[in-house]
Amino acid sequence: MNIGQAAQATGVTAKMIRYYESIGLIPPSPRSDAGYRRYGEQELHLLRFIRQARRLGFGVEQIRQLLALWQDRGRASSQVKALAQAHVAELDQRIAELVAMRDTLTHLADHCHGDDRPDCPILDGLAAADLPTQSAPACHPQHH
């Protein structure tokens, strides 16, 4: 099948297929006499694997490692597990950072009157040298 059909069959865009090929994540596809890329079941299986890994948040280099392990029938599953566990730890860190950002922004928004007055704890917090994680600048008492 051609690249458009492969994209439709795998859920990986043609642009991404070309990109994965250009960085060596997938081998160059065989070409037809007219120069069109041709994809068979093996290439489609590889693209689906990559799509699933991307959905789980793995980066390109991690996917490269996963592909190498997947294609190495002599590999120990402990290698795959270690890679997955390292990724889980990265995800946990990113989740913690996102929760902290949400909590800080919620705190700032909770302390903003959201009215016609110009004072704004959200902007004050963003302008602060170190954005607070526990407390935000309070609105001026005379405006309460």
pLDDT in tens, 53-68: 999 999 999 999 999 9
Residues 69 and 4 in one domain: yes
Please report, for residues 29, 61, 71, the alpha-carbon distance to residue 39 in angstroms, rounded to integers and kept in the order given. Answer: 7, 23, 18
Does residue 21 share a domain with residue 55?
yes
Residues 93 and 122 in one domain: yes
Q: Looking at 48, 73, 98, which one is the last position of a domain?
A: 73
Q: What's the total number of domains in the chain?
A: 2
CA distance linking residue 36 with residue 57, whole number of Å: 31
Same domain, 42 and 96: no
Question: Are residues 100 and 61 part of one domain?
Answer: no
| Model pLDDT, residue 140 | 41
Range of the domain at 6: 1-73
1, pLDDT greater than 80: yes
Kindly report whether the global pTM for this prediction surpasses the value 0.85: no
| 90 and 30 share one domain | no
